Amino acid sequence: MNWKEKCTTSTLSMKSSMIRELVEMTQNVPGIISFAGGFPSPVTFPKEQLAELYKEVLLQKGDNVLQYGSTGGDLPVKEAIIKEDQLSISPDELQVCCGATNGIYNAIKTFIDPGDLIIAEAPSFLGSLVAFEAVGAKIIPVSMEHDGMNIEELNQVIADNDNRKVKFIYTIPDFQNPTGITMSSEKRERLVEIAIRNNIIIIEDDPYGKLRFKGKSYPSVLEIARNKFNNKSVVLCVRSFSKLLGPGMRTAYAIADKGIIAYMNSWAQKVNVTNDRISQNVVAAYLEKGLMAGQIDMIKKTYKPLCDRMVAAIKKYIPANIKWVEPEGGMFLWLELPEQMNTDELFKKAVEQKVAFIPGSKFYPTGCEQYNGMRLNFSYPTGVQIEAGIKRLAEVL
């Protein structure tokens, strides 16, 4: 048996590489307008400031930051994050990780035994679904509504699996990837109450929460659990600098009960030893200099007109029988087509017409796919491209 036969690839992992292939494929079609990528706009990357800070950190702290450090992150870095987010937590309730993906993996690798259940919104971020599968979890989907996860269905799913170990409920409450939907305040509270009652940890994946460019913001699920329910252990919240400074920095953080963080650190120690200490210290310097508020403001000012342009173009060109929810932040908008339509098939026709999206089926756990959705990204294309691309998409539809 050769290595290819031995190293079988799981369906979900195949799906994640297919998304990458779809994105790459669309990049090579001349004149294509792509809504397929999931990238922040490079015009928002604070290159000059970061260049200075990398130099400053290396020259001032080089002997330290080029050395091995503590697994869960450097104390001054944690303190800078705690201050920036105005968190009432101690540093041992926080892990600095190598991207949100790594933080989520550290958590599930620590707590999931093969066959354990994770409840996830459907559709959801494929990167996490792949990680869940990689540790042997079975994913139970709960459908999305215009105001977030269907809470009645969540209750039902938990009751149906009473005798099995539901270990996590995975949610992206703000500007969800892929739907752009935000969970209502009421649902956030019900989610926390249900999780506490059933002794299940919520993973709140929050890479977009700070990128709200309209509407009123809701308290995070973490804040609700800690402030309203006085519970420190029910929510594990992961936040990332990827969409704020640039995903190449691979710097994020997880906030949870200190016992949970200790387990996560113990796993991270086996695989990472330490994270990139230079980048995390550059992030800390960035925060300490008070630069983040202006940066977030600039990103919101960049994305809002792009989102507005997409919304206006959809209203103008897209048939009325197609459903969608206007995003109030983040980077994505989701179109829900009539049930009999299949966006996997539509994708090929769309590429022929030089417009691309990600077919919705890629965001569901294997075996639970729905084929009538599509994810559109508005942070990467220009306003002119958005208008022309939606027009082309409407013609394909």
Ligand X SMILES: Cc1ncc(COP(=O)(O)O)c(C=O)c1O
Strand 332-336 to strand 355-356: parallel, antiparallel, or no bridges (unpaired)? Answer: unpaired
Looking from the CA of 256 toward its CB, the CA atoms found within 13 Å total: 28
Is residue 177 involved in binding ligand X (CB under 6 A)? yes
Residue 6, classified by CB atoms within 10 Å of its CB into exposed (0-12), middle (13-18) or buried (19+), is exposed
Rounded Cα distance between 171 and 202, Å, is: 7
**Which of 91, 99, 148, 209 contacts ligand X by CB under 6 A?**
99
The secondary structure of residue 358, as a DSSP letter, is E
Residue 11, classified by CB atoms within 10 Å of its CB into exposed (0-12), middle (13-18) or buried (19+), is exposed
Cβ at position 240, least distance to ligand X in Å = 3
Cβ at position 101, least distance to ligand X in Å = 4
Is residue 121 involved in binding ligand X (CB under 6 A)? no
Q: Considering only 7-15, 161-169, 195-203, 239-247, which stretch makes contact with ligand X by CB under 6 A?
A: 239-247
**Which of 172, 261, 287, 310 contacts ligand X by CB under 6 A?**
172
The identity of residue 253, as a single letter, is: Y
**Which of 45, 105, 111, 125 contacts ligand X by CB under 6 A?**
125
**Which of 76, 127, 219, 383 contacts ligand X by CB under 6 A?**
127
Q: Considering only 99-107, 222-230, 315-323, 367-375, which stretch makes contact with ligand X by CB under 6 A?
A: 99-107
Closest by CA to 196, choosing from 233, 222, 165, 154, is 233
Residue nearest to ligand X (CB): 99
How is residue 358 written in tokens?
């990600």
Is residue 242 involved in binding ligand X (CB under 6 A)? yes
Residues in 310-349 at the binding interface with ligand X, rule: CB under 6 A: none
Is residue 252 involved in binding ligand X (CB under 6 A)? yes
Q: Considering only 95-103, 107-115, 138-146, 266-274, which stretch makes contact with ligand X by CB under 6 A?
A: 95-103
Residue 384, classified by CB atoms within 10 Å of its CB into exposed (0-12), middle (13-18) or buried (19+), is exposed
CB nearer ligand X, residue 252 or residue 337: 252
CB nearer ligand X, residue 313 or residue 365: 365
Is residue 209 involved in binding ligand X (CB under 6 A)? no
Cβ at position 43, least distance to ligand X in Å = 18
Cis bond before residue 123 (omega within 30° of 0)? yes
Count Cβ neighbours within 10 Å for each residue of 237-274 and write b for 16 or more, e otherwise. Answer: bbbbbbbbbbbebbbbbbbbbbebbebbbebbeeeeeb
Is residue 360 involved in binding ligand X (CB under 6 A)? no
